[in-house]
Amino acid sequence: MKKKLIAGNWKMNGGLAANEALVQALRAGVGAPACAVALCVPAPYLAQVRELCAGSALNLGAQDVSVHEQGAYTGEVSAAMLRDFGVRYCIVGHSERRQYHGETDATVAVKAQRALAAGITPIVCVGETLAEREAGHTEDVVKRQLAAVIHLNGHCISEIVVAYEPVWAIGTGKTATPAQAQTVHALLRAQLHAASEKSDRIALLYGGSMNAANASELLAQPDIDGGLIGGASLKAPDFLSIIAAAR
Ligand code: 13P
């Protein structure tokens, strides 16, 4: 069976002192986990968190990457810069970036391409809004979002990670039921299978109010290979419980 992946998305949270306390607590508790673990931290803290994680099972992740390789793009961070800091994973196409920063399916596909070219595993986020779910469009939306990434990156699609994050479940305390999540994961699995013979190695994460109490049941679903955790990744005991549930 493939190793599960538990990735924390700190979003725009943290500070030098808080990061140190959190990572020390995670280091102290994580040991040799059965799953892979990543911390996707704000860009200014990559250097700090890299040092704090050194020699542990905690891998470094970023939350975004530029579509550009280099040059006059004020404020952007390139994939090569992330690689310089030892970044292993990079979230691309999070719904908060689609919603607040106008990222399109095409933008997200290029970001995944940039990460892959730098040897960084993109964690490609897909997910429907509440209105889309209620209108019966969940399948169309997630398939369209993933299709754009497959279209541009088909040759190395087995190197990506996919995260299904229903927008209505993010930060709301409303988790998709294990059955709801599994249904969408099975659709995404079939879509990846049609695109690549090596699709079995692609981890499909669930994200959206995953916590210490609901992680086991979600992670027990056949097509849920891990989690992308927001709020609960900022509390060491909660994040450690989720890691322990991923075996
Ligand atoms: P929450 O776990 O806070 O709902 O956030 C999920 C998420 O957006 C992870 O990327």
CATH classification at residue 103? 3.20.20.70
Average pLDDT (81-105) is: 98
Q: Is the pLDDT of residue 195 over 80?
A: yes
Length of the chain, in residues = 247
Average pLDDT (90-109) is: 98
Q: How far is the CA of 211 from the centre of ligand 1 (A)?
A: 10
Q: Is the pLDDT of residue 99 over 80?
A: yes
Q: How far is the CA of 232 from the centre of ligand 1 (A)?
A: 8
Per-residue confidence (pLDDT) for residue 112, from 0 to 100: 98
Q: Rounded mean pLDDT of the chain?
A: 97
Q: Which residues make Cβ contacts (< 8 Å) with residue 9, sequence separation at least 6? A: 40, 63, 91, 94, 207, 228, 229, 230, 233
Mutate-to-test residue for ligand 1 from 6, 165, 239, highest number of ligand atoms within 8 A of CB:
165
Atom of ligand 1 nearest to the CA of 233: 2
Task: Classify residue 234 as exposed, middle or buried by CB count within 10 Å of its CB (0-12, 13-18, 19+).
Answer: middle
Closest C-alpha to 177, from 204, 141, 211, 214: 214
Average pLDDT (54-64) is: 98
Here the tokens at position 104 are 């399109």
How many domains is the chain built from?
Answer: 1
Average pLDDT (132-143) is: 97
Average pLDDT (109-115) is: 98
Residues 88, 68: Cα–Cα separation, whole Å: 19
Per-residue confidence (pLDDT) for residue 140, from 0 to 100: 98
Q: What are phi and psi of 73, to 5 degrees?
A: -135, 75
Between residues 11 and 1, which one has the greater pLDDT?
A: 11
| Confidence tier at 1 by pLDDT (50, 70, 90) | low
Average pLDDT (168-190) is: 95
pLDDT tens digits for range 66-92: 999 999 999 999 999 999 999 999 999
Protein residue closest via CA to atom 1 of ligand 1: 230
Average pLDDT (210-221) is: 97
Q: Is the pLDDT of residue 214 over 90?
A: yes
Q: Is the pLDDT of residue 25 over 70?
A: yes
Please state whether the predicted TM-score (pTM) of the whole model is above 0.85.
yes
Atom of ligand 1 nearest to the CA of 228: 9
Mutate-to-test residue for ligand 1 from 9, 124, 162, highest number of ligand atoms within 8 A of CB:
9
Per-residue confidence (pLDDT) for residue 57, from 0 to 100: 98
How far are the Cα atoms of 32, 91, 111 from residue 154, in angstroms, in the given order? 33, 18, 14
Average pLDDT (21-43) is: 97
Average pLDDT (161-184) is: 95
Provide the domain limits for residue 219: 5-245
